[in-house]
């Protein structure tokens, strides 16, 4: 058990921040920028090809100094080192947390329980690369001798969101004659729509499940097996059309997949931190081993930066501390992530799991109820689309919504002046949120008096801008690692276990139990509350009528 003394709200830096917030909390960004001509440069930092401009946060130099002190008092340096050294920092599951080892170069040593895990990591990466190449060059044939053209990843949560996001983000680098599909939902529609136009003889399923016991994934995998064997007319087809990604070889074999076609990983890789493990097999098939390696290098560059850079210039630390400042001192309940890059359209969904499953916790590492708020709700949509929907609330709503804008200087698909317009929108939105539009400015435009209040923007709304040269595999890796370590930083400050997910476990158990009750005709089986019992009865009745 770790014990951190004193609790967060008794840390000297926390108390100083409370007093400091009373002094600076009402300052307007207009004022802060007017007082310091160099603010834009002063409050920015760069690492692994990513530039972070955090000057549009409601902070002063003193805020930053106190936040850094808070990180020190909370033992962030020691906790990060413990993670990188393979200590069991996931206390409730008594596990090491070593996703950083998944992207360590071959010549690095990362020990877990005294064993260097890097050779194991690279052995799997090499096998993945060999397999990916065989799919990509057509050497791996389906059961009927046809080349594989469709890859369907079956997985959910951490075994789905990373690959979905990465395949979409790096589609520009993909082998275009391979069709990538993802099935996660136990809703039969997901499987049905993903496969309806596919030829089984040309389709490979990757069953991706760390535990190989997840209801949704095993249900979809069984349906896929029946789909393949039904269409190809032979159970032996499974060997050519199914591979597995898992830590559970026995369950993979029991399902009928030869463990020679299984790509393993380890219990020190959390689901939502697994996209650089074998869980990334679909990504590697899509973009090729070389691009996958470049993505890993991007992750690694940010890992190194996080571990070594001083806190005041450390991107993940800054992003994490600013989230704490906005949540705990400005009562921000949500945080919007708005990529001005169409290929990053699934990034907000990925970050939702990363942040909210990690830091959606209400007890400390010692099991005491926290006396401070923890994770905000992460959400978002690509810009500029968001500007034509929810940005209204961000500009003029009653709740402040801090926002991360993400943009790239070079387009992957140049087309006329599209990219300049895209980026002009990004910069303009961050500017408008920060500085607003005063009544005097609105009046000066000749606005009738009755309309003035409606056309005013108070401004002073926080945002970060993340800017990189171009969306490359390296840049994506650096960006995702930045958020991973930012989430870690927040969890350390809040003194919670960012690596367990007991809330997810509960759902898995409850659904299994309830599913067994639908086919029972006997009412006494319904041992829930009156609402759930009534819903189950109604469902039983109506589903029979529909048969």
The three-state secondary structure class of 338 is strand
Strands (E), 92-217: 111-112, 115-116, 150-154, 179-183, 203-208
Contact yes or no for 542/518 (Cβ under 8 A)? no
Helix residue ranges, H only, 175-280: 188-195, 215-232, 238-241, 249-255
413 to each of 177, 188, 343, 372, how far by Cα in Å?
A: 19, 35, 11, 45
Q: What is the spatial order of strands in the sheet that 50-53 belongs to?
A: 44-47, 50-53, 463-468, 403-408, 334-339, 377-379
| String of DSSP letters for 10-37 | GSHHHHHHHHHHHHHTT--HHHHHHH-T
Q: How far is the CB of 210 from ligand G6Q (least distance, A)?
A: 4
Q: Is 271 in the site for ligand G6Q (CB under 6 A)?
A: yes
> Closest residue to ligand G6Q, Cβ-based?
157
When the beta carbons of 11 and 161 are compared against ligand G6Q, the nearer one is 161
Of 214, 195, 192, whose CA–CA distance to 203 is shortest? 195
Q: How far is the CB of 364 from ligand G6Q (least distance, A)?
A: 20
- Select the residue interacting with ligand G6Q from 95, 99, 272, 461 (CB under 6 A): 272
Q: How far is the CB of 434 from ligand G6Q (least distance, A)?
A: 35
Determine the interface stretch with ligand G6Q among 269-277, 303-311, 421-429, 476-484 (rule: CB under 6 A). Answer: 269-277
- Select the residue interacting with ligand G6Q from 181, 210, 241, 419 (CB under 6 A): 210
The CA distance from 119 to 423, in Å, is 43
């030829």: which residue's tokens? 199
3-state secondary structure labels for all residues of 342-367: HHHCCHHHHHHHHHHHHHCCCECCCC
Catalytic residue among 168, 216, 357, 484: 357
| String of DSSP letters for 183-212 | E--SSHHHHHHHHTT--GGGEEEEEE-SSS
Q: Is 491 in the site for ligand G6Q (CB under 6 A)?
A: no
Catalytic residue among 139, 193, 505, 508: 508
Q: Is 224 in the site for ligand G6Q (CB under 6 A)?
A: no
For residue 172, indicate whether it is catalytic: no
The two beta strands, 334-339 and 262-264, are: unpaired
Q: Is 219 in the site for ligand G6Q (CB under 6 A)?
A: no
| Site for ligand G6Q, residues 43 to 102, rule: CB under 6 A | none
The CA distance from 547 to 539, in Å, is 12
Q: Is 249 in the site for ligand G6Q (CB under 6 A)?
A: no
Q: How far is CA 149 from the centre of its chain?
A: 28
When the beta carbons of 97 and 322 are compared against ligand G6Q, the nearer one is 97
When the beta carbons of 217 and 429 are compared against ligand G6Q, the nearer one is 217
Q: Is 490 in the site for ligand G6Q (CB under 6 A)?
A: no
Q: 159: which DSSP letter?
A: G
Q: How far is the CB of 149 from ligand G6Q (least distance, A)?
A: 26
- Select the residue interacting with ligand G6Q from 270, 339, 380, 477 (CB under 6 A): 270
Of 356, 414, 408, whose CA–CA distance to 380 is shortest? 356
Q: Is 264 in the site for ligand G6Q (CB under 6 A)?
A: no
When the beta carbons of 405 and 499 are compared against ligand G6Q, the nearer one is 499
Instruction: Judge if the upstream peptide bond of residue 270 is cis by omega within 30 degrees of 0.
Output: no
When the beta carbons of 43 and 265 are compared against ligand G6Q, the nearer one is 265
- Select the residue interacting with ligand G6Q from 202, 504, 528, 535 (CB under 6 A): 504
Residues present in the chain in total = 547
Q: Is 375 in the site for ligand G6Q (CB under 6 A)?
A: no
Q: How far is the CB of 316 from ligand G6Q (least distance, A)?
A: 19
For residue 290, indicate whether it is catalytic: no
Determine the interface stretch with ligand G6Q among 90-98, 112-120, 267-275, 299-307 (rule: CB under 6 A). Answer: 267-275
Q: How far is the CB of 137 from ligand G6Q (least distance, A)?
A: 29
Retrieve residue 539's tokens: 């469902």
When the beta carbons of 40 and 507 are compared against ligand G6Q, the nearer one is 507
Residues 6+ apart with CB under 8 A from 458: 436
When the beta carbons of 303 and 357 are compared against ligand G6Q, the nearer one is 357
When the beta carbons of 219 and 533 are compared against ligand G6Q, the nearer one is 219
Q: Is 382 in the site for ligand G6Q (CB under 6 A)?
A: no
> Residues 20-39: x/- map of binding to ligand G6Q (CB under 6 A)?
--------------------
Q: How far is the CB of 499 from ligand G6Q (least distance, A)?
A: 8
Angle at 369 between CA 368 and CA 371, to 5 degrees: 120
Retrieve residue 343's tokens: 């290929």
The two beta strands, 115-116 and 377-379, are: unpaired
For residue 441, indicate whether it is catalytic: no
Q: How far is CA 382 from the centre of its chain?
A: 15
The two beta strands, 111-112 and 115-116, are: antiparallel
């529909």: which residue's tokens? 546
| Site for ligand G6Q, residues 385 to 424, rule: CB under 6 A | none
> Residues 129-168: x/- map of binding to ligand G6Q (CB under 6 A)?
---------------------------xxxx---------
Q: Is 276 in the site for ligand G6Q (CB under 6 A)?
A: no
> Residues 190-209: x/- map of binding to ligand G6Q (CB under 6 A)?
-------------------x
Q: Which residues are catalytic?
A: 357, 388, 508
Residues that bind ligand G6Q (CB under 6 A): 156-159, 209-211, 214, 217, 270-272, 357, 501, 504
């Amino acid at each position: 058990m770790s014990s951190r003394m004193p609790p967060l709200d008794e840390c000297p830096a926390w108390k100083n921040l409370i007093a400091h917030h009373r002094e600076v909390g009402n300052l307007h960004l207009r004022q802060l920028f007017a007082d310091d001509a160099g603010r834009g440069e002063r409050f920015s930092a760069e690492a692994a090809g990513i530039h972070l401009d955090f000057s549009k946060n409601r902070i002063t130099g003193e805020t930053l100094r106190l936040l850094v002190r808070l990180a020190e008092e909370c033992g962030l340096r020691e906790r990060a080192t413990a993670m990188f050294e393979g200590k069991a920092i996931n206390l409730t599951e008594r596990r090491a947390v070593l996703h950083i080892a998944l992207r360590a170069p071959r010549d690095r040593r990362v020990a877990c329980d005294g064993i260097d895990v890097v050779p194991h990591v690279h052995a799997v990466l090499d096998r993945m690369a060999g397999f990916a190449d065989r799919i990509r060059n057509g050497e791996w044939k389906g059961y009927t001798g046809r080349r594989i053209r469709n890859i369907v990843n079956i997985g959910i949560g951490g075994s789905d969101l990373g690959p979905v996001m990465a395949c979409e983000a790096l589609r520009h680098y993909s082998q275009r004659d391979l069709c990538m599909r993802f099935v996660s939902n136990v809703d039969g529609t997901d499987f049905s729509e993903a496969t309806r136009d596919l030829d089984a003889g040309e389709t490979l399923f990757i069953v991706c499940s760390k535990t190989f016991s997840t209801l949704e994934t095993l249900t979809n995998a069984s349906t896929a097996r029946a789909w393949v064997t039904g269409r190809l007319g032979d159970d032996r087809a499974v060997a050519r059309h199914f591979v597995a990604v898992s830590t559970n070889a026995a369950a993979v074999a029991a399902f009928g997949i030869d463990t020679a076609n299984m790509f393993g990983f380890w219990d020190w890789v959390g689901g939502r931190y697994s996209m650089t493990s074998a869980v990334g097999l679909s990504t590697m098939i899509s973009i090729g081993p070389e691009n996958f390696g470049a993505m890993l290098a991007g992750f690694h560059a940010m890992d190194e930066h996080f571990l070594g850079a001083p806190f005041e210039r450390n991107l993940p630390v800054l992003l994490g501390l600013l989230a704490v400042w906005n949540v705990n001192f400005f009562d921000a309940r949500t945080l919007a992530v708005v990529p001005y890059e169409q290929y990053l359209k699934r990034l907000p969904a990925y970050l939702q799991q990363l942040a909210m499953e990690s830091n959606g916790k209400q007890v400390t590492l010692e099991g005491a109820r926290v006396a401070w708020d923890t994770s905000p709700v992460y959400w978002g949509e690509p810009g500029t689309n968001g500007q034509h929907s929810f940005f209204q609330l961000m500009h003029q709503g009653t709740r402040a919504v801090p926002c991360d804008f993400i943009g790239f200087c070079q387009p992957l698909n140049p087309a006329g002046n599209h990219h300049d317009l895209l980026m002009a929108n990004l910069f303009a939105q961050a500017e408008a949120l920060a500085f607003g539009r005063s009544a005097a400015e609105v009046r000066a435009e000749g606005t009738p008096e009755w309309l003035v209040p409606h056309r005013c923007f108070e401004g002073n709304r926080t945002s970060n801008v993340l800017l990189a040269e171009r969306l490359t595999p390296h840049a994506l890796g650096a960006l995702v690692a930045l958020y991973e370590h930012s989430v870690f930083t927040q969890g350390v400050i809040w003194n919670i276990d960012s690596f367990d997910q007991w809330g997810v476990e509960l759902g898995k158990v409850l659904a299994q139990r309830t599913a067994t009750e639908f086919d029972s005709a006997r009412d006494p089986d319904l041992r829930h509350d009156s609402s759930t019992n009534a819903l189950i009865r109604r469902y039983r009745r109506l589903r029979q009528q529909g048969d």
